[in-house]
Amino acid sequence: MSIGRRGFIKIAAVTAGAAGAASVSAASPHAEGTDGPSVLVDTTLCVGCRACEAACAEKNELPLPPESDDVMQERRDTAPQVFTVVNRAEKEDGTVRFAKKQCMHCLAPGCASACPVRAMNKTPEGPVVYDPAKCMGCRYCMIACPFDVPKYEYDSWKPRVRKCGFCADRQAKGLKPACTEVCPSGALTFGTRSKMLELAKTRIYTNPGKYVQHVYGEHEAGGTSWLYITDIDLEKLALRTDVPEKDIPSLVSGALSAPPFVMTLWPPLLMGLYAFSRRRDSAKGEGTEHGKEDHHG
Amino acid sequence: MAHDFLSIYPAKLLEYGLAIAYLLMFIPFWRYVQGGKAKEVAVRVAEPRAAARAAVRAPRPTAGWFQLPAGVHLHPGHTWARLENDGLVSVGIDDFAHKLVGPARVELPALGELVAQGEPALAMGDEDRTVPLLSPVDGTVVAVNAGARDGKNGIEDPYGAGWLFKVKAPRLAANLRQLLTDGPARHFVEDAGERLALRMSPEIAHVLQDGGAPIHGIAHALAGDDWEQLAREHFLT
Amino acid sequence: MANVQARAVAAPQSFVREKILLGMGLREYVRSCCTKGNAIAAAILIVGVPILIYRFIAGLGATTALSQTAPWGIWIGFDMMTGIALAAGGFTIGSAVQIFGLEDYHPIERPAILTAFLGYVMAVVGLLADLGRPWNIVMALFNYGTASALFEVAWCVMCYTTVLLLEFTVPAFEWLGWKKLHAVMRKALIGLTVLSVMFSTMHQSALGSLFLLAPTKLHPLWYTPFIFVFFFISAIIAGISMVIVESMLSHRVFHSQVAGQHVDVDKLTLGLGKAGALVMFAYFFLKLQGVIDGHAWGYLATGYGAWFLVETVGFVLVPAFLYAYGSRNANVKLVRAAGVMGVLGIILNRLNVSVIAFNWNQPVRYVPSASEVIVSITLVTIGVLLFRWIVNRMPILREDPRFAETHH
């Protein structure tokens, strides 16, 4: 996939800018592990060519997506054999917009926290990956995901959970995820999260009125690796907008901190009640015996 | 589901208001649930007057010196049980026990108490000594004859108005198999009377002065201070 | 042949004949099993068990109506969650007798523990049917997903089922006549009861915690950060109500066993009714507090709001008052009716949280398939049959005279 001269200059410019910004951003604090790999999706730049769908299918050895763009007439969702889809929507003035949907690779993923056997796991490098060898198929990760990403192979006798893996193996080799590699229009930009956030905000502020003043994924579910900027309501592009800003695991951690306290407190409490009721019963028993003796005279 | 800051205030108002309302309602609710004093009394207790009247009208079969009506199931400890129309079982002492101890204070089990066949359940006696008697059936005491318990003169009419307490008996059929009725019951009471007669031969004239039937308080008359021992022998306690 | 028959007549009965066949010969026993009730049970099993086997061969897609948006259905919502809630009688009555010293309830303690044990066993079977890769359930023993409420559920259920099994060995050893082991287990009972209350507290509440991570998927009237408290309190209610219903049925069905005893089930039922009244009264207000805390009172005016009121007013507040009135006025029938309503209320609550009010904002909703319903009924039937098999043989509703307890 040749980038072309324009692409080269673009990338060079971005890298230079990033290098400059890096010295600035080195001073700003980042929580550990939150400056991992990230992708900025600029829906105003997406032309709906669906090269990302094809690249993803090829890399993950999935069936290739249908050639015809007629499929975008309907809203599509990811599926057990489809890790990413591009959806289409129209603005009021008739301009067409597209958006790619895939796993958001949350910073504090609900699916990974939900998995009781860590088949769904957040790697320190960033991607949220799935290991079918550990999976017992409880599908709790599907309940947990606020973006409705994981899909299940219900028709198999040994079903797996299916979702985008952020090309973790490619990233380990220093490569970019397949979809970002092939995007011709620059809609997908791959980089560290802090840089992608800066890029997103820069675009928003330097183009007043063009974008919705919101970076989708900056705070949703506590922050995700995939960030979206757009000039259309993302709900129209099949992305859930009712996602809370609190990360999913923190919703559960309070209740989950109770068991150790129960294990500590219940035994002495219950044994105390037991001893108390025994003492009361034996006192009552003696009393009754006295009574009985009185009866006998 | 984000909600705006200002809705906290009505929410807190509702929360605390509801909590206070609940506490105020909880107190009467607790008292209501715990109330219902002596629940067993709510069970309809049919006076055994009808049965007693029938017993009086029918020619009273005697067992020698002592009365023993029909329909009464006798326990070898000289207590009896009878199934009443309302499904409960009335319990009392028989004429033998009544005459043996004489006019006496009677101590009855409390409402709700469990009684067991062959276990001590009630007692009779005077101011300083009491003799326990055995219950003829298993069950839960649902009614007590307050008149018999509180009355100064002890019991009159031991099979009728002198019923002592009523029991809900879950295994009446099994219990009744252990008890005596009709012929066997009469024989038993006659034997008991004969045993008494053997003890009282020297005084027989003294006791039979009113025509042959023993009077009240035979035990006192026969054994004096040891009346309690004699009574316990017969009551199997 | 004649020799064998003579031996069978003369010698003491073999273990199989005495313990398993209830003292009857094989042919006699089989004939005694040909009752109408057994015919219905057999019909259910003949249909249900093959479907269950088919599910393991063909996968979940072929036998359930689960979808990508509705990953959990009634096998989780009813068989697992409701089953575990209704088995809460084990720890409620167990603790009442062993810890709070309410010896009066001893006669219903063993049937309650048996109900709990079988309830949990069938819940686990239901879970295995629902898991996509049930053979990997052992992974939970070695991979510690401790950030997950489901991990806590899995481990606590595992530990608690073990505790129930150990508690069940007490009547089982009596049945087998293993005196030494029985004495050991009998002594361990107080410790086991403390553990049972501890594990029950944790997993009954953890079943509620499961839904904490889906605030956008569970309807606001049911979603609250306190859902785990609600699940624990409603488990106590479920335990009390279920024991009332189960003792009513047991004492009717197994009348011959209980006929010769002092047990006044009516009095125990009234006592349980009192407790049920108070807990249900408090729970109703707890639910309202949950709605207010979530600022969700506006939803009460909607269709789901009406349904919420059906669950809380109709199946919590109303039976609370029935319990109160019935236990105060010694009306055992009313208390039993309230018990049935209480059980239905718990079933309704668990189904609401897992299936009905879950994904309330999705365009296409989950409706269980016929196979799912049949398998659920089959699992319940198997549980009931096991209950009956055990009660007919082991000293659950009656005492074994060799091991008669000395009550003070």
* pLDDT at residue C12 in the model: 62
The Cα of A156 is separated from the nearest Cα of chain B by a number of Å equal to 36
Mean pLDDT, residues C160-183 taken together:
92
Kindly determine whether residue B120 and residue A297, on different chains, have CB atoms separated by under 8 Å: no
Residue-wise pLDDT tens digits, A107-129? 999 999 999 999 999 999 999 99
The Cα of B225 is separated from the nearest Cα of chain A by a number of Å equal to 14
Mean pLDDT, residues C4-28 taken together:
67
Element (H, E) at A40: strand A37-42
Measure the CA–CA gap between B225 and B228, rounded to whole angstroms: 7
Q: Which of A66-75, A193-202, B75-84, B155-164 has the lowest mean pLDDT?
A: B155-164
Q: DSSP for C208-258, please give it.
A: HHGGGG-TTTB-TTT--TTHHHHHHHHHHHHHHHHHHHHHHHHHHHTHHHH
Residue-wise pLDDT tens digits, B2-51? 456 677 788 888 888 999 999 899 989 988 888 775 444 333 333 344 44
* pLDDT at residue C31 in the model: 83
Local confidence band at B112 (pLDDT 50, 70, 90 cut-offs)? confident
Position A9 pLDDT exceeds 60? no
Position A295 pLDDT exceeds 90? no
Measure the CA–CA gap between C272 and C335, rounded to whole angstroms: 9
Q: Is B127 on the interface with A (CB under 8 A)?
A: no
Position A148 pLDDT exceeds 50? yes
* pLDDT at residue B137 in the model: 86
Measure the CA–CA gap between B22 and A36, rounded to whole angstroms: 51
Q: CA torsion sign, B142 to B145 to B150 to B155?
A: negative
Q: CA torsion sign, A94 to A95 to A96 to A100?
A: negative
Mean pLDDT, residues C128-153 taken together:
92
Position A166 pLDDT exceeds 80? yes
The Cα of B233 is separated from the nearest Cα of chain C by a number of Å equal to 27
- On average, the pLDDT of chain A sits at 86
- The complex's ipTM works out to 0.89
* pLDDT at residue B55 in the model: 43
Kindly determine whether residue C133 and residue A281, on different chains, have CB atoms separated by under 8 Å: no
Q: What share of chain A is helix, strand, coil (3-state, %, to 5)?
A: 40, 15, 45
Position C33 pLDDT exceeds 90? no
Could you say which of B1, B2, B130 has the minimum Cβ distance to residue A297?
Answer: B130
Residue-wise pLDDT tens digits, B206-215? 444 444 455 5
Position C6 pLDDT exceeds 50? no
- On average, the pLDDT of chain B sits at 72
Position B118 pLDDT exceeds 50? yes
Residue-wise pLDDT tens digits, C284-303? 999 999 999 999 999 999 99
How do B66-67 and B62-63 pair as beta strands? antiparallel
Kindly determine whether residue C292 and residue B18, on different chains, have CB atoms separated by under 8 Å: yes
- On average, the pLDDT of chain C sits at 89
Between residues C162 and B97, which one has the greater pLDDT?
C162
Residue-wise pLDDT tens digits, B155-170? 667 777 778 888 888 7
Name every chain B residue with its beta carbon within 8 A of the beta carbon of C274.
33-34
Residue-wise pLDDT tens digits, C298-339? 999 999 999 999 999 999 999 999 999 999 998 999 999 999
For chains A and C, CB pairs below 8 A equal 184
Task: Find which of B113, B115, B130 to mutate to test the A interface (most A CBs within 10 Å of its CB).
Answer: B130
* pLDDT at residue A286 in the model: 56
The Cα of B132 is separated from the nearest Cα of chain A by a number of Å equal to 7
Residue-wise pLDDT tens digits, A273-291? 988 888 887 776 654 444 3
* pLDDT at residue C15 in the model: 77
Calculate what percentage of chain A has a pLDDT beyond 70.
84
Measure the CA–CA gap between B50 and B151, rounded to whole angstroms: 22
Measure the CA–CA gap between C199 and B139, rounded to whole angstroms: 38
* pLDDT at residue C290 in the model: 94
Between residues B203 and C314, which one has the greater pLDDT?
C314
* pLDDT at residue C378 in the model: 95
Q: Which of A143-157, B62-76, C34-48, C328-342 has the lowest mean pLDDT?
A: B62-76
Give me the residue label for tokens 């017993």.
Answer: B55
From C159, C165, C170, C168, select the one nearest C195 (Cα to Cα).
Answer: C159
Task: Find which of C292, C322, C334 to mutate to test the B interface (most B CBs within 10 Å of its CB).
Answer: C292
Name every chain C residue with its beta carbon within 8 A of the beta carbon of B9.
none
Measure the CA–CA gap between C329 and B38, rounded to whole angstroms: 10
Q: Is B49 on the interface with C (CB under 8 A)?
A: no
* pLDDT at residue B62 in the model: 52
How do A226-229 and A37-42 pair as beta strands? parallel
Cβ–Cβ under 8 Å, residues A189 and A180: yes
Position C406 pLDDT exceeds 50? no
Between residues C4 and A293, which one has the greater pLDDT?
C4
Position B106 pLDDT exceeds 50? yes
Q: Is B132 on the interface with A (CB under 8 A)?
A: yes
Residue-wise pLDDT tens digits, A17-67? 444 444 444 444 445 555 899 999 999 999 999 999 999 999 999 999 999
Element (H, E) at B233: helix B227-235
* pLDDT at residue C303 in the model: 94
* pLDDT at residue B63 in the model: 53
* pLDDT at residue B82 in the model: 85
Residue-wise pLDDT tens digits, C344-382? 999 999 999 999 999 999 988 999 999 999 999 999 999
Between residues B59 and C191, which one has the greater pLDDT?
C191
Position A106 pLDDT exceeds 80? yes
